[in-house]
Amino acid sequence: MKQLDPKSLRNAFGSYMTGVTVITAMSNDGKPVGFTANSFTSVSLDPPLLLVCPAKSLSSFDVFANCKHFAVNILSEDQQNISNIFAGSKDDRFSQIEWHKDEYGNPIIKGALTHFSCKTDRNLDAGDHHLLVGEVLDFSSREGHGLGYASGGYFSLALEREAAEISTQEKHVNVGVIIEHNGKVLLSQKDGKETLPSTTTDDNTNAVSTIQQFLADNGIDAQLGAVFSIYENTKTNTNYIFYRAIANSSETKGLGEYVSIFDIAEQDFATPAMHSMMTRYATESENGLYGVYVGQEEQGHVH
């Protein structure tokens, strides 16, 4: 059999775009346990079944391998911090969030888009994971957008759509990209000031296709990530959209030079808006929790 490279296989699995859930249950000694999972799948309507795959390496694996009940909490787009808590925090995860126990004893996370409270239907061994199949006993779901996950990064469908809409409604939107490689960001120079590699959309192309084409035309081998900033300069009536990207090599292809993220705040950027956007990037890259700015050059909100 062909030898598969585990890292490439993980990346290949990760190319499948998913939502994000937190799977919760109660341990025998009455403590809530939970982990972030994107292996959630709906399985059957009649009977109502769903599936999730807990890894054998989880500290709470024994609980999920033997639980009689468990819950699936589908996170909403503003619950990225909860995803990070349940994927990494070593402290008491439940003391950092709001939750309650439902009538089946399952921990339910406040603010999640959807909750499924399940009875374990079967628990099957599958390599380094288990297939945990649950029969849905109860559920609740509200309007809203779920948190998205693809290729190791979070995204918000609502904000990606907003960026796409602006870029097709407005003529000549400026689309730029923050390209990161090994803790450095690729900056271009214009009129003696620092700026970001960027281009403008034409009449028929949306922002994502435009920036992908720009990267390809310039020979930059990078994985395009989520949108980072969408703003309008009301004086010039110009719209700007910036995406994040991770480069696979340090080649600059004449677009500028890589500058350490630690030195970003001291750069002389072409506009104050770009300076504040890049300072936010430097701060947020420390913990990998990226927001999306939507607004005007001087006034807006980070979502």
Give the footprint of ligand FMN on this chain (CB under 6 A).
Answer: 20, 35-39, 53-55, 58-60, 83, 86-87, 149
Nearer to ligand FMN, 154 or 269 (CB): 154
Distance CA 274, CA 18 (A): 31
Closest CA to 286 of 194, 180, 206: 180
CB 40 → ligand FMN: shortest distance, Å? 7
Q: Contact, 155 vs 15, CB < 8 A?
A: no
Residue whose tokens read 């390809």: 216
Distance CA 23, CA 37 (A): 7
Nearer to ligand FMN, 87 or 282 (CB): 87
Record the tokens describing residue 124, joined without a space.
């099957």
CB 89 → ligand FMN: shortest distance, Å? 8
Nearer to ligand FMN, 27 or 218 (CB): 27
CB 292 → ligand FMN: shortest distance, Å? 18
CB 60 → ligand FMN: shortest distance, Å? 5
Is the C-alpha dihedral spanning 229, 276, 170, 205 positive or negative? Answer: negative
Nearer to ligand FMN, 159 or 166 (CB): 159
CB 182 → ligand FMN: shortest distance, Å? 22
CB 297 → ligand FMN: shortest distance, Å? 33
Residue whose tokens read 């006993």: 137
Closest CA to 224 of 274, 166, 179, 255: 179
Burial class (CB in 10 A: 0-12, 13-18, 19+), 21: buried
Closest CA to 14 of 223, 290, 160: 223
Distance CA 92, CA 107 (A): 14
CB 260 → ligand FMN: shortest distance, Å? 27
Is the C-alpha dihedral spanning 78, 84, 86, 87 positive or negative? Answer: positive
Nearer to ligand FMN, 55 or 224 (CB): 55
Nearer to ligand FMN, 14 or 300 (CB): 14
Nearer to ligand FMN, 105 or 153 (CB): 153
